[in-house]
Amino acid sequence: YGTDVVAVLCHYGFVVRGLQRLQIETLSDNAAMLRSAERNGFVREGVLRSSAWVMGEFLDEVLLGLLVQDWKPDSKGR
């Protein structure tokens, strides 16, 4: 479901809200979110090293971005 949710949010951001750019920040070990974002066209733009304090330790976060001109809505109209 994650990939579909990201697709719907992209549609909302770009079509409904008229945004130019969307950004996702997620923990570097969150493989499911990284996969969902990349399947929707997001590009890894950087790593924020040791930027998230999670359960007693600092973890890296990945920054992903998608520009409206690079967005390709899926065939379901999202």
pLDDT at 78 > cutoff 60? no
How high is the pLDDT of residue 1? 87
How high is the pLDDT of residue 77? 47
The pTM for the full model equals 0.88
Domains and CATH numbers, the chain: 2-70 (3.40.630.30)
Condensed to tens digits (0 to 9), the pLDDT of residues 9-40 reads: 999 999 999 999 999 999 999 999 999 999 99
Spell out the residues 6+ positions from residue 6 whose beta carbon is closer than 8 angstroms to its own: 24, 36, 37, 39, 40, 42
Kindly indicate the confidence band of residue 75, based on its pLDDT and cuts at 50, 70 and 90: low
How high is the pLDDT of residue 36? 97
